A and B are shown apart, each in its own frame.
Chain A
C-alpha cells in the first residue's frame, strides 16, 4: 500500500517568502507528526495532530510556523517570512492510535521535503 508522501521533495525559496509543505499520511492513520532535521542532527519535533486538531504544537519554533489538517488526513505546514535558518529537511510521519496510547505506536515516515532558503 501507499506510504506517507510529501510534496514537494525540494523547495528553494528566497528569504522573506511564504512556503507550504504538504504531507499525505497513510490512509486510516489518525496521528500525524511534523519534524525538522537540520544537517548532521537528529529530527526535532514540531507539531502533532490527533485527527483534525493539533494535540501538541510545543515544538513550533515561533509564530511564523503554522500547520493545519482540516479534514484529518492531509496536512500542510506553512512557514511565513522564511529565514535562512529555516533551511532543513521537514519530515512528516503518521501512526495509528493503539489502546495503550500514542507512545506505543510505530511511526511511518515520509521521504521529507528539503527546504533551502537563500
Chain B
C-alpha cells in the first residue's frame, strides 16, 4: 500500500464544474503539499499546509490531520486547469508523492 494515495486517478469535467481531488496518507507528517504538473512541464507548488484550509483564487485546499486526509477543490473550472495534480507529504525532510490525478477540463 502506498503511503500517499490519491483519488480519482483520472478526472474529466466540463468548464465551470466544481472539482474535488482527494489525498489520504498513512504516515505522520509535518506538512502536506499540493503540486501542479502540466504536460511536459515542470512542477509548480500550489499549497503547503499543516492544518485547516488555504485559498488562492479558485483553488482551495483543506487538511484534516486526525483523519490523515486532504482535499483540493477547484471552483469554476477552466480548460487551463487541465494538468496533473499531485499530493505530497513531508514526514521528515523529503517529500513522498502520490501518483497524481490527471484532470481534463473541456470547454
Contact = CB atoms under 8 A, between A and B. Distances in A.
Interface of A: 31, 33, 35, 40-45, 48, 55-56, 59, 91, 93, 100-112
Interface residues of B, number: 26
Interface string B12-39: 0000000000000000011101010000
Contact of A45 (B29, B30, B50, B94): B94
A42 B44 contact: no
28 contacts: A40-B99, A41-B99, A42-B4, A42-B86, A42-B97, A42-B99, A42-B100, A43-B88, A45-B95, A55-B93, A56-B94, A59-B94, A91-B42, A100-B30, A103-B90, A103-B93, A104-B31, A104-B50, A104-B90, A105-B48, A106-B33, A107-B45, A108-B45, A109-B42, A109-B43, A109-B45, A111-B41, A112-B42
